Structure 1
Amino acid sequence: MLGSPGLLTDHYELTMIGAALRDGTAARSCVFEVFARRLPPGRRYGVVAGTGRLLDLLDDFRFDADEIGFLAGTKVINEETARWLESFKFKGDIWGYREGELYFPNSPILTVQGSFAECVVLETLVLSVLNHDSAIAAAAARMVTAAKGRPLIEMGSRRTHEQAAVAAARAAYLAGFASTSNLAAGMRYGIPTAGTAAHAYTLLHDDEQAAFASQLLTLGHDTTLLVDTYDITQGIRNAIEVAGPRLRAIRIDSGDLSVLAAQSRALLDELGAPDVKIVVSGDLDEYSIAALRAEPVDAYGAGTAVVTGSGAPTAGLVYKLVEVDGRPVVKRSENKRTIGGRKTAIRRHKPTGTAIEEVVASQHTPSRQPNDRLLQHRFVIDGARVPDLPTLNESRAHLRECLISIPWEGLKLSQGDPAIPVIQE
């Protein structure tokens, strides 16, 4: 694990800085913007996530002597660049959409202003954090919508990189998941953690009843017994025989969950345990969760689909130079064109609160109407973080309100246009 985020940077960022220092352009005032040219297939909105993590990493973004020695020794940098890195600290400004905000194609979700050198060296870190966390949050938000108010547990740590697992748990919680299995995320971000036992614990014991009795002895009746290690029907009978009707829940982790949930509910009721909840898990995504809406399922555990963005592991965000010394600059590459100039964005709403469009203006503020909401907020001024930025729980609540505000068609899981259009003014 690197001591600082400085080397979480692509090689060419530093070669550009070296060349710019040599020709005198490194200090030119620049504006870079983060946006998505399009949403992943099948998605009707994106979710901004990772800004809080990014600002934490930016606080520590430095290059120490060992790192500079490595860069110089491998001839990534020359002597002049080494001196620049020795004293590097970001001193520019950052604005952006707050965490939990929805975004759409060409939404200017982050704006970084400063010298060319200090802005470009942040490119890889900015995109790494925001692309990962926003992809996870968007997938998780779709699962939360599909669950229709039933709680979800994030349990994907074993399906991704160990550090990505912590970030994914944070993004899923931001999106509305109730808890995570990841203890590091619980400690670092205050996210509720959950978990009881795996099939291995049942297999450890001589029989299923002994495993259940042991778990109850330690955790009490406010626990969840995993009932599908052998035969699920007998597993449920054993669970109620050992725990009685005061058991909190059973969990089913395999099989046809729709059929098994209905059969399990009927059996639990027959055994006099109508208050015992049913938790299901096992490769769930937003589509399988939606398919279980009509079944007697009380909670879901989702893993692989969450931490991989449910088929869209990156948000497709890009970081582009749009202004140099106050002058708009435009990339004209085929299929990769940009709109020059620093952007300002507002979300326009009906009097009822329903969002109808996003208006983005270049080098000016869009004309304001009643019920408009300015989307960009200052995060960093002259290199210092703005105090009292929204907490993770506040951002979580903000996303909930944003999802309520978009037209209901925007919450569909089917293919379709973005939930609201983005208008370039």
Structure 2
Amino acid sequence: MTTMITQLLNSKNKTVSTLLLIFFIGQAFAQNKNLVSLASGVKILKAPASYAEFTERSSYVLYSPSSLIDESDKIWCSKGTTFPMEFVFELTELCKINKLFFNNVCENYDGIHTKELKVEYSSKSANEDYKLFGNYTLSKNKINEYPVDAEARWIKLTILSNYGNKEYVELSEFKVFCHPAQELSSTIRIDGTWHTNWQDIIFHQTGNTFTGDYEYDGVVGKVTNGVITRNELFFHWKEGNRQGTAKLYLNAEGNRLSGDWINSNNSGDFGVWEMQRKRAIGIDYKSRENANIVSASPIIPEKVVRDEAIEFDGQKIEIGENIVFNNVIFVQSKAILLESSYSELDKLVEILLKNENLKVELSGHTDNQGNVNLNIKLSEERVETVKKYFVAKGIASKRISGKGYGPSKPINDNKNELERKLNRRVEFKLF
């Protein structure tokens, strides 16, 4: 690399050499990012008993397993010295790994430092096909670094001994420097409802930008200025007087977002923000010849999938799966569609016109406010309005069925206006 950069600097074609220089330096920097960190969305699948246990709400806890990968001055400490002590970490995706990093600068207790350990990796699963990076003897009170070269998604760290202390083992920080092994072929999809480690959040995505709504401790929260870069989400959040930023990463299966948030008003207020969604939308990767890659789209059992995938509004959908229209909106308390609803309805019309063997079942739902019978009647009328729209667009009425359920099938508890808004919806499923 050094020789190549020198040649570029001496090149007569300064424009080309400058561009190539930027490219190669960028590649070098890309290989020097620690992706085994809480801030990068890594998941701790297994950890030994620790002096302070990991807690979901407060993940940056001194001596807990999370403190081993939080990129701070907090230290992991064992609870006892029963060896071996095993950690398993799951990266968000398959990565090209080039360096292992151990900070073995610990508290000044005799013999407490980690001494011998081994590191293994797997590109298959968290439970099998591990290969050895190496067995290492760490120098105490020093940074220990080791070059490696492999593709992996799961990392197993096994501590085998310390420097003689009979009660505790400590290790300040473990890092794995790497970069993603695969290119994405399309923008990730994150719109919809996510279950977080304190409340649900709803993202609204347009291209590579997004906004969101949530509630925390009775206060309405807003997500603004959201930008998607590859599988990384960066956004601003605000809830009452508290506000800040967050950076989260989507895993390859498309069902987990994780990263960290920071309170802009209080530099000491930060933590992990983790989200799950029931319906996974896997990341689409560009194919690579002879690549040994874990599938990004897991098979979902007990659902019939067509040979030819059906895509609705940028998302692959399955036969028999209930899909919520995100932008089908009616005049308040009436069964009159707003014009802004037409675009989303037309996308389903297009699917039905192209697939004449498919039928659609509609279902209408309301919140729990007001008279139950009137709500059922309103939901039935709204289903009928959508059906008439489809018929007017050329879909035979015999291919469309539907029912209004009123407030009987809520998707949450109707505790506040945000939850009630989500319960007021029209769904469809193909069969």
> Same fold by TM-score, threshold 0.5 exceeded?
no
Q: What TM-score do the two structures reach when normalised by structure 2?
A: 0.25
Between 1 and 2, higher relative CO (CA 8 Å, sep ≥ 6) is seen in: 1
More helix by share: 1
Q: What TM-score do the two structures reach when normalised by structure 1?
A: 0.25
